[in-house]
Structure formats: C-alpha cells, structure tokens
Structure 1
Amino acid sequence: MRPLVDLVDTHLHLDDARFEADRGAVLERAYQAGVRDVITCGSDLASSEANLALARRFSERGEEPPDPATACSSPARVWVAVGIHPHEAGRVADLEEAARRIETLAAAPQVVAIGEIGLDYHYRFAPPGVQQAVFERQLALAQALGKPAIIHAREAERQVLDTLARYPGVRGVLHAFAGTAEQAREALDLGWYLGIGGMLTFPSARQVREVASSVPIERVLLETDAPYLAPVPHRGKRNEPAYVPVIARALAELRGLEAWAVAASTTAAAAALFGIPR
C-alpha cells in the first residue's frame, strides 16, 4: 500500500479543551500519519486568538513551546481561520468592533481564512436574523481582505447558498458538507469547495456519500472537525488529524481511485485555496 505523506486537515479545533493535555503529541501523530498541515478554526474572538497563539507556539516561525514535554520532533504545521461561528453570533455586542478585531487577527501570516462562519438552523442558539448579520459582515470582511472563508451550514444550506451568491468575490469551502447533490452543484457553480470528513464513513450518511462520489475530485477538501465526528472505526473516540488518511482511503474506495491520488488532489486544492506552501 502506497503511504500517504502529504495530507492537509482543512478543519479542526486545536484550541478545544480535549486537546489540552497532549496538543504536541496530536500534531506529531498527525505528521507521522502523513498530515503535514492543519487549519484550526475559531468559533469566536477568544478562540480565534487562542488558535493563533497555538499556531505561533507550534510554528517554525514562532516561539518554541515553553514546556519541553509538549514539544514535537516533527509536528504538522498549524494554520488558522479566525471568525465567529453562528452558535456564538448572539454573543456579539458590537459587530463592527468584532469585525475590526477579526481583521487585526487576519493580518498574521499564520491566518489563511475567515472562519468558521455561517448559519445553523438546527440548534438556533442565535436568532436567524442575528446569524445572518454576523455571517454577512464576515463575508464582506473576507471579500475586503482577499481571504477564503470556511462555512458552517446546518439545516440552512439554501440560505447559505443564497447568501454566498451575493458575494461573488469570496471563495472558500463548505465545511462538513451534508447538502443535496443539487446544492453541491450549485456550490461548485459559485466556485466553492466541499469539505468531506468522518461523516463519509457513517452508515447513515447516504447523502454525503452520494455527493462525495459524484463531485469533481479536484473540488474536494479533506477535514476532520476534530475533536468531533471521528470516522469509523474510531467512532466514540476523540477525533484528531491523524485520522485524515482514514477519510482519504474511504473516499478513494468510494470513487474507485487510489488513495494517493485522492491525497494528491485534495492537498493541491487546499494549497491553492488557502495559499499553503508545499
């Protein structure tokens, strides 16, 4: 079996408390599994700042980890998306001030995207109108900064696609895409990529597999959403970026491709979209 040696996890949450004890080891396991880069996503201003601090801590350009016990011999490189998740939209007291803070964070060289932003009508932790205002302000910021966006859409795919159509200058990825094949085609027509993760391996996720089997492979990105959504056979465990090869191989089997070809295509797409050097 040809090893997979140049993968990108385009979506995880490295700041999550479940990684507190072993972040360095998580990044080293990722590297040893062939994952060379990860993009850790903010959910609010505090987590965006925390993720940027982690990227600086573990980056070759940043400081050495202060605790030698957490240092990595060969860590995956850490990149960052900064933004406000729809779950947190209702907590934004001053949207313009929040946008200014995101813009300041986005100037750091480790920041490659605005995200995770979007709409969530499943939980509705914030009213739809509030979510929409926060979403659109961040899309406008992504457009102004020339940054790609990482989009969350849950039971709001129609509203998200309609919104993205109003921002034709913005490109990015629909994270954990679970929409219909028709919605996938619409997203592709707008120039967006689709993020495929552990849900691909869930027995109940027929629609995800239908989409993943049919869209152009060059428009697919791999992700884990760690610590969430661990793929089979790791269901019930904490997810981590070292499981990206599991997703790559599942996608390859679904499409009748070699796993190394899926790795090469998805990594090239991630590098092109986010400007990650190879």
Structure 2
Amino acid sequence: MFVDSHCHLDFPELAKNLPDILSGMAQNQVTHALVVSVNLPNWPGLMELVAPHPHLYASVGVHPDYEDTPEPSVQELADMAQSPKVVAIGETGLDYFRLAEPLEWQRERFRTHIRASRQSGLPLIIHTRSASADTLRIMKEEGADEFGGVMHCFTESWEVAQAAMEMNFYISLSGIVTFKKAEDLHELAKKLPLDRLLIETDSPYLAPVPHRGKMNNPANVIHVAEKIADLRGVPVADIATHSTNNFFNLFNKINR
C-alpha cells in the first residue's frame, strides 16, 4: 500500500472532485493522505473536508509564500494542533525564489512554527526553496530536531539532505523525481536511506510522468514510488513498505 504524505485536497480544483479522487486512491492502493495547511483563513474548510474520512489527516500552518495573510502565534498553532485530526505543524519554512528581501517576516514565521512544534509535540512539514542555508540555520537555532519532521518536495543537494536527516528529518520525494531532466534528484533517490524516505504528490501540482502537465492527485503517488524503485533496482513493494512505515513512524499521532 502507499501513502501520500503531502497534498492539498482542500484546494477548490480538487475538493470539487473529492469522491472521484478518493475512488482513484482506493484503486491504486493509496490508503492515507495528509492534507497540508497553507494559511489560517482556509484551515476550517480543510478540517471540514478531512473530518468525515478516517484515512485523511491534516496539518496546521502558514506557507512561507503567503505574504498578506494573518500571522499565527505559537499558542494559536499549538491550540489548533490539539485536534485529533491534526498530526503536523506546517507547511512552514523559507522560500526566497518568488519573494525578495526584506524577508525577516518569513524567517520569524518559520521560528514561530518550530516553537509550535516543540510546544505541541508534533513534527514539522518544511518547505525550502533557494533558502537552504538559512533554513538549516534556523532549524538548528530553534531546536527543530526535538520532534523532527519532513523536508517536503525535496529538490536540494545531498549535503542538505544529510544535514536535515542529522536533525531527525525525513526526505520526501514528489513527482519531480519522475522528470527526465531531474538527474541530481535521481542520484539522491538512489542513495537516500530507505528508513528516511517519504513519497508525496504535492497535488494539485507536479503531476508525475505519465501524467505530467495534468492536474495531480494522491492516486498518482504510486508513480513516484515506481520511479524510485526503478532507480534503485528494487521491487516497488519495497518502496511502498518503507515509505508507508516511515509515514506512520513520523506522524505517530495517527492510529495505524
């Protein structure tokens, strides 16, 4: 079986087709999905979406790309994280690709989420783009290793992956690993320890080959696993088993 460790089923383009998406997940043996929060105004709707479904779970947090949105406090995040359905803090992190300095607000928001992780006892979901040095620095300064987490949709170097793993983090690979030109990521996928591997879709984005260019959904996480298995020369069942076990080990608030 497979698990999608990061998706956005509450986004309108997916939410309106939820019954078909859930059916597709079942057909591809995708048993669970983590629906990841990007801001607080939309979080009640996210929670309403996952509530009726025992195999859908949620996080709470504010994405670093969301500039004009209410800022969370540590206590607010920790309080929201008490819901039985919330199993992680995030997605959080740093993204210097789309936004320009001054970005101290983004770094302070990241610190807030790490502190909320430590207060709530839940792992972090970290997004980093064009900001790996500052991301790792703040993780170290704030003690992100206490409850660990996942570096989601990972596209950074092997050295960044090693530094994150040393801080009790998993590495999650998305549909990007199926792209022909993602050669550096292919090499990373070959040597990543299987006890640190997660797989995800980040849907509705980044649909893997053979669906590239189309709207993504959690059923497609099987193609991520298949590509990693092909790169490593192992049965896809090995990737399914390890990534699924890792998911439940990390997000241990879920009753498997």
| Structure 1 length-normalised TM | 0.87
Q: Is the 2:39–2:69 contact (alpha carbons within 8 Å) kept by the matching residues of 1?
A: no
TM alignment of 1:209-248, pairs within 5 A: 209-248=186-225
SS at match of 2:249: helix
Aligned length: 253
Q: Could you tell me which amino acid in structure 2 is paired with residue 160 of structure 1? A: T
Q: Is the 1:88–1:125 contact (alpha carbons within 8 Å) kept by the matching residues of 2?
A: no
Q: Is residue 28 of structure 1 aligned with residue 23 of structure 2?
A: yes
State the 1:100 CA deviation. Answer: 3.6
User: In the aligned structure 2, how far is the partner of 1:169 from the partner of 1:226?
Assistant: 29
Runs of 5+ consecutive residues of structure 2 not aligned to the other structure: none
SS at match of 1:58: coil
Query: Of 136, 161, 172, which residue of structure 2 is paired with 1:161?
Result: 136
User: In the aligned structure 2, how far is the partner of 1:202 from the partner of 1:224?
Assistant: 13
Q: Is the 2:37–2:46 contact (alpha carbons within 8 Å) kept by the matching residues of 1?
A: yes
Q: Is the 1:90–1:127 contact (alpha carbons within 8 Å) kept by the matching residues of 2?
A: no
Q: Which residue number corresponds to residue 132 of structure 1?
A: 107
> 4+ runs of 1 displaced by more than 6 Å?
none
User: In the aligned structure 1, how far is the partner of 2:167 from the partner of 2:72?
Assistant: 27
Q: Which residue number corresponds to residue 183 of structure 1?
A: 160
Q: Is the 2:78–2:119 contact (alpha carbons within 8 Å) kept by the matching residues of 1?
A: no
Q: Which residue number corresponds to residue 86 of structure 2?
A: 111
SS at match of 1:86: coil
Q: Could you tell me which amino acid in structure 2 is paired with residue 201 of structure 1? A: T
TM alignment of 1:30-109, pairs within 5 A: 30-59=25-54, 77-92=55-70, 95-96=72-73, 99-109=74-84
Change (3 A) 1:132 1:213: same
Q: Is the 1:80–1:112 contact (alpha carbons within 8 Å) kept by the matching residues of 2?
A: yes
State the 1:105 CA deviation. Answer: 2.0
Query: Of 212, 232, 254, which residue of structure 1 is paired with 2:231?
Result: 254
| Structure 2 length-normalised TM | 0.94
Larger radius of gyration: 1
**What root-mean-square deviation, in Å, do the aligned CA atoms of Structure 1 and Structure 2 show?**
1.5
State the 1:257 CA deviation. Answer: 0.9
User: In the aligned structure 1, how far is the partner of 2:16 from the partner of 2:159?
Assistant: 43
Q: Is the 2:14–2:217 contact (alpha carbons within 8 Å) kept by the matching residues of 1?
A: no
Runs of 5+ consecutive residues of structure 1 not aligned to the other structure: 1-5, 60-76
User: In the aligned structure 2, how far is the partner of 1:28 from the partner of 1:126?
Assistant: 44
Q: Is residue 14 of structure 1 aligned with residue 9 of structure 2?
A: yes
Q: Deviations over 1:158-186 (max 9, x none)?
A: 11111111213130000011111111111
Change (3 A) 1:80 1:178: same
Q: Is the 1:45–1:102 contact (alpha carbons within 8 Å) kept by the matching residues of 2?
A: no
Query: Of 105, 119, 133, which residue of structure 2 is paired with 1:144?
Result: 119
Q: Is the 1:113–1:274 contact (alpha carbons within 8 Å) kept by the matching residues of 2?
A: yes
